[in-house]
Amino acid sequence: MQAKTPSESATIATDIVLPSETNPLNNLFGGELLARMDRAASIAARRHARRIVVTASVNHVAFNKVIPLGTVVTIEAKVSRSFNTSMEIFLDVWIEEVTSGLRSKANEAIYTFVAVDDSGTPTKVPELKPETELEIERFSAALRRKQLSLVLAGKMKAHDATELKALFS
């Protein structure tokens, strides 16, 4: 199985915030944004694995800015690291004010997907070969995030978390 680059999984989804998707303050519902991010992340994961993929976890979501009614929202998703059968997907959410064209980062998230075969059994995914400085940074941090998640879930002993030890010693 040949390694792939993050750019091969790049997914960009652009949409506008409609009235039915907003809360009483006329801002995009958080759940609506989560669903949009899940779809973009699943496409990125599927492009990397070329398999059916399922959401394993939403590891991190930061709602840093509100997203008002009528705003153009662009979600950029890329695989940031692949493991044996799972992939971490990093998402950046950008908002654009239609009248001025000003674009700013509103949110970010990290999802984990698992590739499965037709019967739902996890299956191996290609390695990831980061190219840019940001991709290398996200690739490195992904192993620390995975080990922390495994330790917190009781699936890995803290003393076996080699990447986490490096942070504290």
Contact 112, 61 (CB under 8 A): no
pLDDT at 168: 57
Name the CATH superfamily for 6-130. Hotdog Thioesterase (3.10.129.10)
Cβ within 8 Å of residue 104, ≥6 positions away: 65, 94, 95
**Chain segment 72-89, per-residue pLDDT in tens:** 999 999 999 999 999 999
Average pLDDT over residues 155-166: 73
Could you tell me how many helices (H) and strands (E) the chain has, helices first? 3, 5
Q: Which two tokens stand for residue 100?
A: 């001025």
Average pLDDT over the chain, rounded to an integer: 93
Hey, where are the domains in the chain? 6-130
CB atoms within 10 A of CB 31: 10
Rounded-to-10 torsion of CA 16, 19, 20, 25 = 110
**Chain segment 90-145, per-residue pLDDT in tens:** 999 999 988 888 999 999 999 999 999 999 999 999 999 999 999 999 999 998 88
By percentage, how much of the chain surpasses pLDDT 70? 96
pLDDT at 169: 53
Full-model pTM:
0.90
pLDDT at 153 over 60: yes
pLDDT at 147 over 90: no
Residue type, 116: V
Residue 30 host element (H or E): helix 30-49
* CA angle at 133 for the pair 145 and 126, rounded to the nearest 5°: 60
Cα distances (angstroms) measured from residue 51 to each of 1, 37, 62, 104, 142: 13, 19, 28, 33, 21
Q: Which two tokens stand for residue 18?
A: 């409609």
Average pLDDT over residues 22-28: 97
